[in-house]
Amino acid sequence: MASLAHETVLFEEACAGLLPCAGGLYLDCTLGRGGHTRGILDRSAPDGRVVALDRDPVALDAVREAFGDDAGRLELHRLPFSRAAEALAGRLVDGVVADLGVSSPQLDDPARGMSFRHDGPLDMRMGDDVDETAWELVRRLRDDELADVIYQYGEERASRPIARSIKRAVDAGAMETTAQLAEAVHRVLGRPRFGKPDPATRTFQALRIAVNDELGELERLLAALPSMVRVGGRVAVISFHSLEDRLVKHAFRGDAAWHPVTKKPVTPSDEECARNPRSRSAKLRVAERCDVEEETP
């Protein structure tokens, strides 16, 4: 059986925010290993349904195998979430969940090249629908362009010397793997210290976001959501990056189509952070779809 090894972040909080009910239709924009989808199906039994998206065929195959008993209530699509409207084909949903970022199985698979913890090819693509790998990206960009990516998406103050270090490694033919990328960052910021985040974290995050156009994907999803959610339906978005959270906050507060249910983002408990350190930066925002016409004077 395909592995579903992944702990769903803010599971109870997201499900409670969505208020799934029997007979409802829900959209899981980021299926991953199916944690939120399983929660929605359980809470909307016996006839609630989920349309689930993922651009990673490995994730879809794993869920398809594990959710056999609920196949009739689960509709899977190999699509990025910016194209959710294609999967819905005009249907309105009662709720949407989007768990942004990268899943633990992707981080832990050396072949995906997502993490400095395992040496692997410098890939970072979430799915094979992404045209350019991280290796191709760092080769294509000029020093200043690469520095801008690292600063903008990684919020890394040392972006310029890091970019120069990476490009020197590219020129020397020593920028093929995740270990070589981490080493290029360490030459600027130093080696990791015990108990502290690896100095390469921000650079890896920035390149992954750029490769997968993660912020562009989120902007397109947020723009499309009002046309996909019925009045009274809810949307729950979990972000792991300040830029993502800012986009979600502005969308929920700045559009009359939404009433923010969470005034401030919901964050993991100390217990969850201790159990799953990767949840530490997670922020959940929930909003409810409003009847805009009724609110118009």
pLDDT for residue 279: 87
Q: What is the pTM of this model?
A: 0.91
Q: Is residue 106 packed enough to be buried (19+ CB in 10 Å), middle (13-18) or exposed (0-12)?
A: buried
pLDDT of residue 237: 98
pLDDT for position 207: 97
Distance, in Å, from the CA atom of 53 to the CA atom of 220, rounded to the nearest integer, reads 15
Q: Where are the domains of the chain?
A: 11-104+215-295, 131-212
- pLDDT score recorded for residue 219: 97
Classify residue 164 by burial, with Cβ atoms within 10 Å: 0-12, 13-18, 19+: middle
* Residues in the chain, pLDDT under 70: 1-6, 69, 293-297
pLDDT score for 295: 42
Q: Does domain 11-104+215-295 have CATH number 2.40.50.140?
A: no
Mean pLDDT over all residues of the chain? 91
Residue environment code for 13-34, b if the CB has 16+ CB neighbours within 10 A, otherwise e: bbbebbbbeeebbbbbbbbbbb
8 Å CB contact between 202 and 242: no
In eight-state DSSP terms, residue 192 is P
- Nearest Cα to Cα of residue 59 among 26, 9, 111, 106: 106
Rounded to 5 degrees, φ, ψ at 231 are: -60, 130
Q: What is the pLDDT of residues 108-117, one digit of tens each?
A: 788 888 888 8
Classify domain 131-212 at the CATH superfamily level.
Putative methyltransferase TM0872, insert domain (1.10.150.170)
